Amino acid sequence: MSDPKKLALAWVESHREQLSQWHRTIWEYAEPAWREYRSAAWFVARLREAGFEVEEGSGGMPTAFAARWSQGTGPCVAGYAEYDAVPGNCQAAATTRKPREGLSPYAPGHTDPHSALGVGALAGILATQHAMRECAIGGTLKFFGEPAEKVQGSKLVHGLKGYYDGLDAIISYHPFYMLPLCNTVRWDTHCGAYYSRIYSFICDESESWGTAGGASPIPASHSAARAPGANVALMSMFNSTKATIESMLAHSGGWSLNEAILTAGQATADNLPAHLAQINYAWRAPDVPMAEAILAVLDRNAEHAAAIAHCRLVKRWVSRTRPGVANHALAEVTYRNLAAVGAPRYDAAAIALAHEIQTNLGLEPMAAPFLPACESLIEPLEAERQLRLQMPAWQTNWTSDDYVEMTWYAPTVRLYVARPMLASPEGHAGYPAWVSNALGGLSACIDPTVQVAGKTIATTLLELLTDPALLARARREFEARTGGTKFLAPLLPADFVPPIDYRWPEYATTARGTDWWIPACPELDA
């Protein structure tokens, strides 16, 4: 192993306790998409302490950032942090089901967890910087703060605004457990297209629906006919989409459609037509034509729903990403470094916590409580083979993540390091969601993920910085896969404005103090 790599590995080892504390900080912040104010500020402060120049609010996104550090001349390589959490998944770092102190269960929690993604990637970039300084390695490190991954919101914006231009290579890392993509890298089958759109129904001329009728002097009389209003439009959209979902596409290819009703309008029952109601649809598809077919149905449903309820319709994109592009040259070197580091290992403290969870669920503690795949490597080609068994031959992409936008700007690798998951006893239906969320906050269980990621990212970046032939091979492959007729232009315009001003869930400070926007409420939280 080269001296720079040894220095990087030693840096991660010597900062184990600090990395653990860093991770727990972001995990406890648990801020949701577009509202990660404390998390983004924390990363900015750490990077500036390390000597990086940092642009806050990059791409017009308040919780994004773009950091840069250079030494001499050389390649420009990049990584990134994500740090958004998921509403409705508030869980304490505990072995029983309970929300974090002072919050309702409906507050956010890290499900993936992006806390381990961000801190693991930061560990890799700082360890690389340390080795570059000690060994006088020339080059530039870039590190991006990518908010709102759960709505796939930021990477397409950074790409459109030119932040990925001029990069020689990008490492995209994610904690993972979905077999077979556990402790490996993606080979050919990368993530597919993802579309997300908000439909707003606005009833701003309810009086033009009809007359009050009778002798009532006021159009809003309690007994008068009135416009159906925005709530009716939203429900018409919801129901018509449920009715037409089976007619959108054939039942193959692993596509999916989900919705979220955004809180808007009066949010109070009153004898008035609702003026504003909003619903957000997000859909995943292997390719763009499939995603466009779903879009056509949704747009048609929205237009008719608005007309039925005497509303006008406003449509706003949240995300619209292209399918990902593979790069075997980067995948090979990254997996080689992952294999040298090894898969995460769980010590006695982690096993004791796992046993405690199993006991609290009424299960007999298992001798080996963690999913075996979490402590094993899988070769990329074998992972690819197993993945392909789950999909039709024509399908080229599967599931979604917005790193795919990066793959169109520079050679990119997708690295997976296992997050801790418990093995299920024979005949057991499976664990409740709170278990995996809690494991992401229990330091003894999640720290190995952060450490393996940091070491793998650092050793890979150092190899890219010091091997011009490797970078040239990756670049040739990138150009062959994305050039000419294979090029797919961005699906949103260069002047696209991210919907940061919409009513995304967030923590709120009032005279009652700071709380989640859905406060703790005994009859709901029992």
Assign residue 24 the CATH number of its domain: 3.40.630.10
Count: domains in the chain: 2
Q: Rounded mean pLDDT of 266-294? A: 90
pLDDT at 522 (0 to 100) = 80
Are 351 and 434 found together in one domain?
yes
- Percent with pLDDT over 90 in the chain: 86
From the centroid of its chain, how far is CA 363?
A: 32
Q: Rounded mean pLDDT of 53-81? A: 98
40 in any annotated domain:
yes
- Alpha carbon distance 371, 420 (integer Å): 8
Are 317 and 339 found together in one domain?
no
> Which 3-state string (H, E, C) describes 359-374?
HHCCCCCCCCCECHHH
From the centroid of its chain, how far is CA 493?
A: 22
Residues 6+ apart with CB under 8 A from 153: 33, 34, 61, 147, 318, 319, 402, 498, 499
Secondary structure class of 108 (helix, strand, coil): coil
Are 339 and 280 found together in one domain?
no
Per-residue pLDDT at 217 exceeds 70: no
pLDDT, tens digit, 9 for 90 and up, residues 302-328: 999 999 999 999 999 999 999 999 999
354 in any annotated domain:
yes
491 in any annotated domain:
no
pLDDT at 450 (0 to 100) = 98
**Number of residues in the chain:** 526
- Alpha carbon distance 260, 283 (integer Å): 12
Residue in the block written with tokens 């030119």: 162
User: In terms of Cα–Cα distance, which of 251, 258, 262 is closest to 283?
Assistant: 258
Per-residue pLDDT at 68 exceeds 80: yes
Residue 374 domain boundaries:
3-190+323-486
Q: Which long-range contacts (CB under 8 A, 24 or more apart) does 380-384 make?
A: 380/184, 380/185, 380/186, 380/187, 380/331, 380/332, 380/335, 381/187, 382/180, 383/180, 383/181, 383/184, 383/186, 383/187, 384/186, 384/187, 384/188, 384/189
495 in any annotated domain:
no
Show the tokens assigned to 270. Answer: 């009153």
Confidence band of 493 (pLDDT split at 50, 70, 90): very high
Residue 5 has a CB neighbour count (10 Å cut-off) of 23
106 in any annotated domain:
yes
Confidence band of 218 (pLDDT split at 50, 70, 90): low
516 in any annotated domain:
no
pLDDT, tens digit, 9 for 90 and up, residues 412-437: 999 999 999 999 998 888 999 999 99
Are 414 and 357 found together in one domain?
yes
Question: 138 or 104: whose pLDDT is higher?
Answer: 138
Domain boundary among 322, 337, 368: 322
Confidence band of 54 (pLDDT split at 50, 70, 90): very high
Are 12 and 75 found together in one domain?
yes
pLDDT, tens digit, 9 for 90 and up, residues 328-362: 999 999 999 999 999 999 999 999 999 999 999 99
512 in any annotated domain:
no
Helix (H) or strand (E) holding 164: none
Q: Rounded mean pLDDT of 58-76? A: 98
Domain boundary among 322, 337, 356: 322
Are 287 and 348 found together in one domain?
no
What CATH number is given to the structural domain containing 307? Answer: 3.30.70.360
Are 339 and 307 found together in one domain?
no
Domain boundary among 486, 502, 518: 486
Q: What is the DSSP letter of 420?
A: P
- Residue 482's alpha-carbon distances to 122, 124, 406, 407, 475, in angstroms, are 29, 28, 12, 9, 11
Are 56 and 89 found together in one domain?
yes
Are 330 and 311 found together in one domain?
no
pLDDT, tens digit, 9 for 90 and up, residues 155-177: 999 999 999 999 999 999 999 98
Are 357 and 438 found together in one domain?
yes
364 in any annotated domain:
yes
pTM over 0.85: yes
- Alpha carbon distance 176, 189 (integer Å): 16
Are 175 and 283 found together in one domain?
no
Q: What average pLDDT does the structure give for the chain? A: 94
Crossing angle (nearest 10°) for helices 328-341 and 380-388: 110
Q: What is the DSSP letter of 526?
A: -
pLDDT, tens digit, 9 for 90 and up, residues 171-201: 999 999 889 999 999 999 999 999 999 999 9
Are 307 and 417 found together in one domain?
no
pLDDT at 75 (0 to 100) = 98
